[in-house]
A and B are shown apart, each in its own frame.
Chain A
Amino acid sequence: MNIYLNNAATGWPRAHNVIKAVSYMLEHQPSNSGRVSAESDTIIGECRKLVARLLDVSDPSRIILTVNATHALNLAIHGLNLGNNDHIITTVLEHNSVLRPVNHLREKYPGLRISVINLDNNGQLDYEKFSQALSAEPTVVIINHASNVTGHIYDVAGLFSDAKKAGAITVLDATQTTGAIPVSPMRLNADLVAFTGHKALHGPPGTGGLYVSPELELKQVYVGGTGIRSDMALHPPEMPLRLEAGTPNSPAIAGLHAALQWHEKKGNEYSKLTGKYIQRLYEELSEIRGVSIFDKNSDVDRVGVISFKIEGWSVEETGYILAESFGIICRTGLHCAPLIHKAIGSAPEGTVRFSVSGFNTDEDIMCAIKAIRKLSS
């Protein structure tokens, strides 16, 4: 069995009962005919409630269930009705799930202004540049809660507070943090929060969602079947159906529901283990000659991610050898976040990334450290 250190891509193994819940939904005859009418009784409604509880949101109808965080971010970015007179502020931390929708919008609206905030020498977002951008009538501010390349968790509450004072709508990409640390839209001053179910929550792939503030009404990007009120010519305007069209992936949602139940019981314990393992990797890899860690600042909070490279080996080759020779599964390259690499000094080839979870063991971490020692000797 290989050692799995690619949890920032997808959390593995799946949480307790996830597989059973998915199988149950596939094996058993569907019972309810409608969707919203039975919302409170269905697994979908229950899942929405658990997500709301996780995000400290009082009204579950503000939680839109999507097929992943990319879907959620597209619903958010395209749902804001942006155009030529708008100004988006975002950062070099962002994943392509933010950058590409934003770039596609600019293709459509050449007058759309985009400010991309860089990192300062400490790996923090350049606050001076951020403040300058805020003074130029921002419409939307989109920030990644934690980098999927470095694991660095950003203090978005203050940045979003300033953004809201400047009149901007705030969008949080909480893909790496949901399930790993507390994510509360209210405390973080976020109007929209995108998350996924298959990373720190260890739910099935193909699950995720978007929190939408009651202050906001997003444009409907997808419209169609809802299973109820079929006599209406237009898609129902009420949340959550307003932003959910078509048959939901109920087996996957049942799996997410099981993952959320597991997380309520075990999430803290597993997050602590994740913290212990990543700290160990930072400490040990820092001591190995020939290993360069990117964004090494020890004063910051992190999710379970470390990025590095080894002298004498290309990043791609390191990943290949770790997988094929040592049986360690990790990720190499740009990690779908192309802009951060110039800022942290890992351009153009990117990094080798280890991303751990509470399902790893002390032995996994020791094996990984030994493998890196061997490769750098």
Chain B
Amino acid sequence: MKICNKIKVEDCFDGSSVFEYFFNSAWSKNEIYSLECMGHLEYFPEFPRPFFRVIQKGGLQIKGVEGDTKCRVILPKKNREKTEILLENTFSNI
């Protein structure tokens, strides 16, 4: 999946580590499962649009919805740059 855009998400708290990634194609079930390498994956097919989240022990979180061309990422404070590079490489290789 090619990353087309990446924007910082502002909310009530310090949003400096929350990003929305936009891709050139939508998340399918297979692509969602390929995120298992990044942490503990949970997939909720019973929701009207199936939701997924990946939680890594180091603090990285990825969440999104099947069929959508975006996902939300919370980057950890520790090893942030390294995690960001690894994450973006993973996205590119899906």
Contacts and interface: CB of A to CB of B under 8 A. Distances in A.
Interface in B33-90: 44, 46-51, 53, 63-65, 68, 72
B11 A324 contact: no
Interface stretch (A72-80, A170-178, A255-263, A314-322): A314-322
- Interface secondary structure of B, over-half rule: loop
Given A324-B64, A325-B47, A333 B13 contact: yes
Interface residues of B, number: 16
Interface string A326-350: 1100001111100000000000001
Nearest to B68: A324
A211 to B, nearest CB: 30
A374 interface: yes
B49 A320 contact: no
A316 B61 CA distance: 12
B12 interface: yes
Given A320-B72, A333-B12, A333-B13, A325 B49 contact: yes
A325 B63 contact: no
Interface in B1-52: 11-13, 44, 46-51
Contact of A320 (B12, B46, B48, B63): B63
A118 to B, nearest CB: 21
Contacts of A324: 49, 51, 64-65, 68
Contacts of B48: 325-327
A324 B66 CA distance: 10
Interface of A: 316-317, 320-321, 324-327, 332-336, 350, 374
A326 B11 contact: no
A218 B85 CA distance: 56
Contact of B50 (A325, A327, A336): A325
A324 B48 CA distance: 9
Nearest to A321: B51
B13 to A, nearest CB: 7
Nearest to B47: A325
Contacts of A327: 48
25 contacts: A316-B11, A317-B53, A317-B63, A321-B47, A324-B49, A324-B64, A324-B68, A325-B44, A325-B47, A325-B48, A325-B49, A325-B50, A325-B51, A325-B65, A326-B47, A326-B49, A327-B48, A333-B11, A333-B12, A334-B12, A335-B12, A336-B12, A350-B12, A374-B46, A374-B47
Contacts of A325: 44, 47-51, 65
Nearest to A367: B48
A333 B46 CA distance: 26
Contacts of A350: 12
